[in-house]
């Protein structure tokens, strides 16, 4: 049997790869060969040219790249991402191809991180932790092992010098309402975990059957209800043209002035200027963000200097486990194609 040619740019577990190699000659390309962030689109195009199967990770493939691959015989394209925004959908559709991807591959990683940001923001954790590192609310240097015999050790009287006064007293998640914008794989994982904290979940997703939301113990809500009643709003919207800048001043004006906004999706869905102004003007209480409109986030970005904002450098979706999940899913997609079986994870190409 003549083997097919496959260009592989992302890890696939050995047990899956062994099956694939029975059908394919596999060439390692892209970031799997050169390392994260060390690949241009031109490099990817050249290395993957002439392969029937092309499996990408974070590599970009625009319209011309995809057209040239298809003209050279590409029949399978996979992108091991939860949202395959790094490829041109129209070009894939024009070539008459389908697109395999790995939905929900990092849903647990992002959901856990989102809960962490909610707690950090609600309890002012990063503000107070950074304050201690800068020497705020610390005592004079001393012999740290010479400990006084005091049972109730505290930071002192609750006055203007107390950390509570400086950083503020946060609130518990228990009993609060969490609004989830976008009840997909990640939104649902956040909801399930938030329920364990005793939160009430208001889920806004006009494209999802409300019965699926109710099955998780969440409450389907229209946008206005979700925004006006939630103590925390967590964004899990997909990156598509219809969602660009959709989280804007109209959203913020409907939220509680004490409400927090959490974003571990993409900055693409938030109007940057409206967001900054809402935080500066205290239209909303605060925010926690892991994603930005330009990355690395510019050093002069106002979010970095706001005491009511928790900022982290786009870390939510990556753990030591994520490549394993996405690799398994993509491996199954490749094997299904090679065996002529239906594929499970196909992106709906939007024309």
Burial of residue 140 (number of CB atoms within 10 Å: 0-12, 13-18, 19+): exposed
Q: How many CB atoms lie within 10 A of CB 109?
A: 21
Q: How many CB atoms lie within 10 A of CB 166?
A: 15
- If asked whether residues 11 and 130 sit together in one domain, one would say no
- If asked whether residues 161 and 258 sit together in one domain, one would say yes
Residue 83 included in any domain? yes
Residue 343 included in any domain? no
- If asked whether residues 174 and 266 sit together in one domain, one would say yes
- If asked whether residues 218 and 132 sit together in one domain, one would say yes
Please state, in angstroms and rounded to a whole number, the distance separating the CA atoms of residues 175 and 170. 14
Residue 351 included in any domain? no
Residue 1 has pLDDT above 80, yes or no: no
Annotated catalytic residue, options 107, 188, 236, 266: 266
- If asked whether residues 15 and 29 sit together in one domain, one would say yes
Annotated catalytic residue, options 34, 137, 314, 343: 314
Lowest-confidence segment of 95-99, 187-191, 316-320 by average pLDDT: 316-320
Mean pLDDT value of segment 230-259:
96
The candidate with the shortest Cα–Cα distance to 234, out of 282, 280, 291, 281, is 291
Lowest-confidence segment of 156-165, 202-211, 322-331 by average pLDDT: 156-165
Please state, in angstroms and rounded to a whole number, the distance separating the CA atoms of residues 182 and 179. 10
The CA angle 317-129-310, to the nearest 5 degrees, is: 45
* β-sheet with 286-289: strand ranges across: 219-220, 200-204, 177-181, 232-235, 260-263, 286-289, 309-311
Residue 73 included in any domain? yes
Residue 245 included in any domain? yes
Residue 147 included in any domain? no
- If asked whether residues 275 and 333 sit together in one domain, one would say no
The two beta strands, 53-56 and 4-8, are parallel
Q: Which stretches of the chain are assigned E, i.e. beta strand?
A: 4-8, 24-28, 53-56, 76-79, 99-101, 177-181, 200-204, 219-220, 232-235, 260-263, 286-289, 309-311
Q: What are phi and psi of 99, to 5 degrees?
A: -125, 115
Q: Which residue has the tokens 């609004």?
A: 179
- If asked whether residues 225 and 332 sit together in one domain, one would say no
- If asked whether residues 132 and 10 sit together in one domain, one would say no
Lowest-confidence segment of 26-30, 103-107, 140-144, 285-289 by average pLDDT: 103-107
* pLDDT level of residue 160 (50, 70, 90 thresholds): confident
- If asked whether residues 115 and 90 sit together in one domain, one would say no
The candidate with the shortest Cα–Cα distance to 158, out of 166, 149, 150, is 166
- If asked whether residues 177 and 281 sit together in one domain, one would say yes
Instruction: Write the CB contacts of 73 (distance below 8 Å, at least 6 apart in sequence).
Output: 50, 51, 52
Active-site residue, 266 included: yes
Residue 344 included in any domain? no
* pLDDT level of residue 350 (50, 70, 90 thresholds): low
- If asked whether residues 34 and 133 sit together in one domain, one would say no
Active-site residue, 314 included: yes
Alpha-carbon distance values, 327 to 24, 101, 193, 331 (Å): 17, 10, 25, 6
Q: Which two tokens stand for residue 273?
A: 């200027």
Percent of the chain with pLDDT over 90: 91
Please state, in angstroms and rounded to a whole number, the distance separating the CA atoms of residues 149 and 133. 26
Name the domain count of the chain: 2
Annotated catalytic residue, options 22, 295, 341, 350: 295
Residue 159 has pLDDT above 80, yes or no: yes
Mean pLDDT value of segment 330-348:
97
pTM of the model: 0.83
Residue 222 has pLDDT above 90, yes or no: yes
CB 53 within 8 A of CB 76: yes
Percent of the chain with pLDDT over 70: 99
- If asked whether residues 168 and 229 sit together in one domain, one would say yes
For residue 163, what are the domain limits?
Answer: 107-138+157-311
The CA angle 61-66-69, to the nearest 5 degrees, is: 120
Task: Please report, for the domain that includes residue 85, its CATH number.
Answer: 3.40.50.720
Mean pLDDT value of segment 222-244:
96
């Amino acid at each position: 049997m003549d083997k097919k040619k496959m260009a592989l740019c992302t890890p696939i577990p050995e047990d899956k790869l062994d099956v694939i190699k029975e059908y394919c000659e596999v060439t390692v390309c892209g970031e799997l060969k050169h390392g994260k962030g060390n690949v241009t689109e031109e490099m990817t195009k050249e290395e993957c040219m002439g392969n029937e199967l092309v499996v990408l990770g974070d590599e970009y493939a625009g319209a011309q790249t995809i057209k040239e691959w298809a003209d050279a015989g590409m029949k399978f394209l996979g992108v091991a991402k939860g949202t395959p925004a790094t490829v041109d959908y129209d070009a894939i559709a024009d070539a008459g191809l389908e697109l395999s991807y790995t939905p929900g591959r990092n849903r647990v990683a992002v959901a856990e991180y989102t809960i962490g940001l909610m707690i950090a923001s609600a309890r002012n954790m990063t503000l107070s932790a950074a304050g201690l590192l800068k020497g705020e609310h610390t005592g004079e240097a001393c012999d740290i092992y010479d400990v006084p015999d005091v049972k109730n050790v505290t930071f002192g009287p609750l006055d203007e010098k107390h950390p509570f006064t400086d950083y503020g007293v946060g609130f518990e998640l228990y009993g609060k309402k969490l609004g989830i914008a976008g009840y997909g794989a990640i939104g649902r994982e956040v909801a399930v975990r938030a329920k364990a904290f005793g939160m009430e979940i208001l889920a806004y997703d006009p494209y999802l059957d409300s019965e699926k939301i109710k099955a998780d113990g969440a409450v389907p809500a229209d946008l206005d209800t979700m925004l006006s009643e939630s103590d925390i709003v967590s964004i899990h919207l997909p990156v598509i043209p219809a969602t660009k800048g959709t989280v804007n001043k109209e959203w913020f004006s409907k939220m509680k002035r004490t409400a927090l906004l959490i974003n571990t999706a993409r900055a693409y869905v938030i109007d940057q200027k409206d967001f900054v102004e809402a935080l500066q003007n205290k239209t909303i209480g605060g925010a926690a963000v892991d994603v930005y409109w330009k990355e690395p986030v510019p050093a002069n970005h106002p979010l970095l200097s706001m005491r009511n904002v928790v900022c982290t450098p786009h870390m939510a979706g990556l753990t030591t486990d994520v490549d394993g999940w996405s690799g398994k899913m993509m491996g199954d997609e490749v094997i299904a194609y090679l065996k002529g079986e239906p594929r499970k994870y196909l992106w709906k190409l939007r024309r």
